[in-house]
Structure 1
Amino acid sequence: MLPAILTTLLWSCSAICAARSAKIVGGAPANLARMIVGAALLGLCAHTAGRSLLGGPALPWFIASGFIGFGLGDVAMFGAIGRIGPRLTMLLTHCLAAPLAAITEWLWLGTNLGWQEIACALVILGGVALALAPDRGAKIPRRTFWIGVLCGIGSAAGQGFGSVLSRKASAFYPATHGVVEGMIGGATAAYERIVPGILVALAFFLLARRTAEKREPRAWPLAWPWIIGNALAGPSIGVAVYQWGVATTPTGILMPIVATVPVITQFLAWKIEGHHPTRRTVLGGVIAVAGVIALAAASGNLKLG
């Protein structure tokens, strides 16, 4: 449960940094830059502390996971955000990825969840859906809307299936004991995932460059602090913690908790940028957090009373 909560906090900070850097230099360049920085940091850890874990039978599964999750999933997410906006994109991604991953893991790996855990996961996803549901009256052309929805479903599939592939790969890793071993194993797994993801991000960057708005070169020095912050909280430390969670926690428990990231991000944006959340966002956030606490209790990670 600890990796899931840490991942949620780190990825929420990453989202704020990502938004700032994308405004300065554009989404595709910022995404590629943060992945390159993240890969360098993960590689440093993997080739020193995690050297004994590199390669082996887990490698093909991590490569497939990175291609699907880091690569295709992220490209689909960017495609959805540009067409239907971030709120509906995050709603589709997080609320579909969790059940897709849980069902896939059940059918393929035989992982079962108790009814209490399933109920709590549904409460969390319901709270997220309430908080992120877009306002009525948004005028989006029908064709653009449905292409965006398909991209959002693709983003969810990338995240969900990529996580299950990582869980399959983690079965080949030795059992971890404690935070340090979990982080080293997670960083090594994240490194093996991010390399194929960078190749997809690079291809997307080259395609997007043809139609991208020209940015001033002097904008990059302003963006680098946000890119580095995004790389630390996202693809390096954030994904390392997430991989630690994947190795120790069923995706049906892990992913509903991580689905609260966009809700937490809105509250961080309130504190940092002054964007006040709506009453519906607050109510949805309270429901989601209550579901997380109940899920922790149901899975034996929290003692109540």
Structure 2
Amino acid sequence: MTSLLWALSSTMFTVGTRRHSPQAVNRIRLVLALFLLFLTVTLFYGSPLPPGGRRVWFFLGLSGVVGLAIGDSFLFYSYRRIGPRVSMLLMSLVPVVTTTVAWVLMGESIRILKLMAIGITLLGVVMVVSERGDGDSPFRLSGVGIALGVGAMLGQAAGLLLAKVVLDEGYPTLPATYIRVMWGAATLWALGFFT
């Protein structure tokens, strides 16, 4: 079910970004998510303001800016350039990058099974990206499109690693998501006034 919804959402966002600005689609998406999270957090926590001190707000806020405002903006532009298939394929590398960086910088261990999964994922991505595209597709592989997809992947991975700092300490995921979306939406809307 998750895969179906993921495929459906990427296709719908691709249609949206071909009809409207990718930034506009991302802004609207984050505002809708913010509204729904506002209702949910208020219902479950009794307050529209999530709990947490400055450290929580700093790491989760930075995570929202990097992952949702910057990373997802790259993703929506890559949808427009190279389509959902290759964009989501590049996004499948997020766990690979996140695991590798957590291993190198945070001292986490990687088991042999994870290394094998990383190898298979990398092989699959190389195979799909290097194959010739369908002549009927409105999308073409381009250096700019791939760079946007890689930017999206790196933004998402960095955002997850920043959130991990707080989540590993036991902070609840629902208010964490709310804070991330709050900061991501605020950043995109603030930038929208200057562009």
Fold agreement, TM-score > 0.5: yes
Superposed, which structure 2 residues align to 1:123-272 within 5 Å? 123-127=120-124, 129-131=126-128, 135-136=132-133, 145-173=142-170, 185-202=172-189
Q: CA deviation at 1:16?
A: 3.6
CA contact (8 A) 2:23 2:73 kept: no
What residue is the counterpart of 1:59 in the other structure? 57
After TM superposition, the score normalised by the length of structure 1 is 0.52
Superposed, which structure 2 residues align to 1:29-40 within 5 Å? 29-40=24-35
Q: CA deviation at 1:49?
A: 1.4
Q: What value does the CA root-mean-square deviation take over the aligned residues?
A: 3.2
Q: Deviations over 1:203-260 (max 9, x none)?
A: 565677xxxxxxxxxxxxxxxxxxxxxxxxxxxxxxxxxxxxxxxxxxxxxxxxxxxx
Superposed, which structure 2 residues align to 1:8-27 within 5 Å? 8-22=3-17, 25=20, 27=22
Distance 1:131 1:58, change over 3 A: same
After TM superposition, the score normalised by the length of structure 2 is 0.76
CA contact (8 A) 2:14 2:80 kept: no
Read off the aligned partner of 1:77 and give its amino acid letter: L
Q: CA deviation at 1:129?
A: 5.0
Distance 1:86 1:132, change over 3 A: farther
Rg larger in 1 or in 2? 1
Q: Deviations over 1:182-201 (max 9, x none)?
A: xxx32211110011211343
Q: CA deviation at 1:61?
A: 0.8
In structure 2, the gaps of 5 or more residues are: 136-140
* Number of residue pairs the alignment of both structures matches: 187
Fraction of identical pairs, as percent: 22
CA contact (8 A) 1:58 1:170 kept: no
Superposed, which structure 2 residues align to 1:81-100 within 5 Å? 81-95=79-93, 97-100=94-97
Q: Name which of structure 1's ranges 60-69 and 197-206 shifts more when overlaid on structure 2.
A: 197-206
Q: CA deviation at 1:18?
A: 2.5
| SS of aligned partner of 2:44 | coil
In structure 1, the gaps of 5 or more residues are: 139-143, 175-184, 209-305
Cα distance in 2 for partners of 1:21, 1:84 equals 14
CA contact (8 A) 1:65 1:166 kept: yes
Distance 1:82 1:20, change over 3 A: closer
Q: CA deviation at 1:12?
A: 2.9
